[in-house]
Amino acid sequence: MRHTSIDRTQPIAMFTTFALCVSLLFTTGACAASKERGTTEESSDGDLLRAVLASSPRAVKDALRRGGNPNRIFGPSFSEWAMCAATRKGREDVLKLLLENAGDPSLVNAPASYTREHPLTCALSKGNREAFDILASAGADLALTTCVGCENRRLNSLFFAALTSSNFDIARELLDVMPVSEDELKALARIIETRQTLPGSEHARYTLEFVDYLAERGITAVPPYPME
């Protein structure tokens, strides 16, 4: 997805994707997923990832039957590991299939960037609440550390990842079930005081809830303009 230049692997990738789309033609309309760069590896693991990118539960089931590993990581990008790629909106049934077949909801892709290190943060990056809930129900670790390998990073909780990705509903719920550091509460106050939020919107409603939450803990946060 990030590569636009032609290289030696491109003809193979094009052929593999074309063959998969043809095989899925009468079972799915998802060949648009071919724009996502996954892997050209010819294996059951590669077939599984391509099936996930094609959003085809039928092809996913077939690849799993042939031994495809849902926890295989081909690279750091969103489309290079099945447990992350399955969090895109519209792939919820595929995600459930992976979890039912030994997919790890707490899998860590350490080389990946900040927003794609965990299936949960992948779901946050795509704004997919349903995928997030599916993973949480499957036992995903809510106490995960984001930015794996970052030194001296204090804002590294799932709460802060939800907050900075504008998943305010999830961030608000996490406040009630997970410990939050003083640094994160102060960061929340700064976001409230500087974020441009449409008055009367859902985000504005959550902003007011955050203001009340902080006030109960002795922290004052004033939005830049009325939220109602």
Residues 171-219: pLDDT tens digits? 999 999 998 889 999 999 999 998 888 888 888 889 999 999 999 999 9
152 and 223 inside one domain: yes
Identify whether residues 104 and 152 lie together within a single domain: no
Residue 11 clears pLDDT 90, i.e. is over it: no
**In the predicted structure, residue 24 carries a pLDDT above the cut 50:** no
pTM confidence score:
0.79
Q: Are residues 103 and 146 in the same domain?
A: no
Residues 6+ apart with CB under 8 A from 53: 33, 34, 36, 38, 79, 85
Q: What is the C-alpha R_g of the chain?
A: 20
**Structural domain range at position 208:** 142-228
In a domain? residue 201:
yes
Using the predicted structure, report yes or no on whether residue 1 has a pLDDT greater than 60. no
Give the pLDDT confidence score for residue 167 in this predicted structure: 94
Is 221 domain-assigned?
yes
Q: Report pLDDT digits (tens) over 68-112.
A: 999 999 998 999 999 999 999 999 999 999 999 999 999 999 876
pLDDT-derived band of residue 115, with 50, 70 and 90 as boundaries? Answer: low
Which residues lie closer than 8 Å to 111 by C-beta, 6 or more apart?
Answer: 75, 76
Flag whether 29 is in a domain. Answer: yes
CB 45 within 8 A of CB 66: no
CA–CA separation, 137 vs 24, rounded Å? Answer: 30
Q: What is the pLDDT of residue 199?
A: 80
Q: Does 17 map to a domain?
A: yes
Residue 202 lies in a domain: yes
Q: Whole-angstrom Cα distance, residue 108 to residue 59?
A: 25
Q: Does residue 56 form part of some domain? A: yes
